[in-house]
Amino acid sequence: MNDLHATRTPAAAAVRAQRVVLFGLDAVSWDVVDRVETAMPTLARLRREGAVGTLLSTLPPITPVAWTSMVTGVGPGRHGVYEFVHRTERGWRPVTRREVRSAALDEILERHGMPSILVNLPVSHPGRSRAVRLQDFLSPDPEVVYPAELRQRAPEIAAYRPFYAPGAIADRSVEEAAAEVLDLERRRLAAALYLLRHEPWRFVFYGVTGTDHLQHRALDLILGPGPVPEAVLAVYREVDRALAAVLDEMRPGDLLVVASDHGSAVMRREFFLNEWLVRQGLARWRQAPAGAAPGRGGGMAAAVRRAAFALGLDRRTAAIRRRLGLRLNLGGGPLAAVDEEGSAAYMPASFAWPALYAPGADPRQLADRLAEVRDPETGEKVFALARTGEEVYGPDRAPGAPDVVLLPAPGMAVHPGRGGVLVRAAHKNHHKREGILLLYGARPAGLGRDLGERAVEDVAPTVLAALGIGVPEEMEGSALFPPPPDEAARRAVRSALARLGLGARPTRAREGA
């Protein structure tokens, strides 16, 4: 096998891996793996035999932002996805690949004649390449397979669905939710295996999102002192079966990358961010018309919007509602009580992670004040990190970036609504930045088994380097394989120029860690 990173020039690059599979485990961290390892013998073996590290997520560490960084090799400030939603003239709308300003792996590989298969890659709709796609769970497209005629080829493809029935996760017991996840993952694997066996590919993304959905319901049971419930273990057993089945489809010389977009953590306290802003005189609540319920818009039009939302008829927000179990209301409701137009600073009610827009406040001063806010009951700081959008995403960040980006302290959740108190006891399972990274198969002999801490932006350049394709200069991540001296020198020069303000500023996910 040739040296794994001989050049950044595609024409002269040596192909080190014949094919690459990126097996994505949404929200899985090593502490979760430790607790369910008996149900995951394949992952346990790969962990012993492969190269292993921690993958540090983006800010914010949430699904659409982190997966987009993983497959584009750039941070949110470059690709332009900052949340599940983005602002339009008609209000907040779910993000799609239309909003992604950087090329993803399937687009880059297509330029080099390398076909891709994308199975449940978040923010992959609408496609910008000819990659075969089993639509992601955030796609608003009612057609779940691309190209659509593939559904006629096999019952496994026809049976594929990207998400659960409404309320199947949020409104059910843990056992019932686990059964829904299990069914979906089995359908996903059957459809994916058909594609791997019958479609040409050089790159495959296989996304397991059931881990995230189940952990939002049961993480405290997984990480708690008692035994993990059998219904939950059954899901991880199925995920491991999928990993083993995909591995069986690979050949000598292929590379397997197992990665997660972020980790998961248990929260026992909750901070009401807009409540704090109102008490500081920086935000105000939206006033309801006379006779309307508190926090709700009035009038027939608003009532129709809410009814459509509740019945699942508003397709513009359907994917977000399904993802968050109807807890997110973009059409008006108790969570949407902050007056965005009348506030100097506010957290949008549609955000899944704490971040502020500050049209009438100084972001630097606001970040400094939030960095010192403490839980009145415990005395602990509410936020582990408070930075301006410019600090996190760079001065040349893509439009739409929040003005203040926050990372809650361990064990602390943040709520955008009106709580009447600043902090309360809570029982929530959410995200943390530390995910997992594992390489198995074709890789350089000099690559040690301990990969240390890497950033999600490093995955895309690693895939390209493994396939012998030059890593685009605009990518902010670095290949995990050791770069040649000439590339190292170029990157050192670019970094030095950036520090002097003479070049593009790198916006790595590690910033602020």
Quick one: DSSP state of residue 164?
Answer: P
Output the CA–CA distances (angstroms, integers) from residue 342 to 222, 227, 337, 354, 365, in the order listed.
Answer: 43, 50, 12, 19, 20
Say whether pLDDT at 296 is over 70.
no
Q: Which of 105-114, 189-198, 279-288, 391-400 has the lowest mean pLDDT?
A: 279-288
Residues forming beta bridges with residue 407, ordered by sequence position: 385
Contact between residue 396 and residue 245 where contact means Cβ atoms under 8 Å apart: no
Show the tokens assigned to 342: 């009348």
Residue 117 CA from chain centroid, whole number = 19
**pLDDT of 98-144, one tens digit each?**
999 999 999 999 999 999 999 999 999 999 999 999 999 899 889 99
Residue 386 burial by Cβ neighbours in a 10 Å radius (0-12, 13-18, 19+): buried
Could you give the count of Cα atoms lying within 13 Å of 493 in the half-sphere of its Cβ? 7
Rounded CA-CA distance 348/350 in Å is 5
Q: How many CB atoms lie within 10 A of CB 291?
A: 6
Residue 12 burial by Cβ neighbours in a 10 Å radius (0-12, 13-18, 19+): exposed
At residue 394, the 3 state secondary structure works out as coil
| Confidence at residue 262, expressed as pLDDT on a 0 to 100 scale | 98
Rounded CA-CA distance 112/281 in Å is 55
| Confidence at residue 315, expressed as pLDDT on a 0 to 100 scale | 43
| Confidence at residue 309, expressed as pLDDT on a 0 to 100 scale | 39
Strand arrangement, sheet containing 263-272: 412-415, 263-272, 423-432
Region of residue 260 (left: phi > 0; alpha: psi -120 to 50; beta: else): beta
For residue 446, what pLDDT band results from cuts at 50, 70 and 90? low
Residue 132 phi, psi (nearest 5): -70, 130
Rounded CA-CA distance 42/31 in Å is 17
Mean pLDDT estimate for the chain? 85
Residue 309 CA from chain centroid, whole number = 24
Contact between residue 199 and residue 131 where contact means Cβ atoms under 8 Å apart: no
Domain residue extents for the chain: 10-262+433-499, 267-428
CATH classification number, 10-262+433-499, choose in 3.30.1280.10, 3.40.720.10, 3.40.1000.10, 2.60.40.1220:
3.40.720.10
| Confidence at residue 423, expressed as pLDDT on a 0 to 100 scale | 97
Q: Quick one: what percent of the chain has pLDDT higher than 90? A: 73
DSSP code string of 18-43: S-EEEEEETT--HHHHHHHGGG-HHH
**pLDDT of 472-500, one tens digit each?**
999 999 999 765 556 556 656 655 555 45
**pLDDT of 136-176, one tens digit each?**
989 988 999 999 999 999 999 999 999 887 777 877 899 99
Mean pLDDT of 293-320: 43
Rounded CA-CA distance 374/188 in Å is 44
Output the CA–CA distances (angstroms, integers) from residue 178 to 58, 119, 428, 459, 506, in the order listed.
Answer: 28, 21, 17, 30, 41
**pLDDT of 48-85, one tens digit each?**
999 999 999 999 999 999 999 999 999 999 999 999 99
- The pTM assigned to this predicted structure is 0.86
Residue 459 CA from chain centroid, whole number = 14
Residue 246 CA from chain centroid, whole number = 22
Residue 55 CA from chain centroid, whole number = 12
**pLDDT of 238-268, one tens digit each?**
999 999 999 999 999 999 999 999 999 999 9
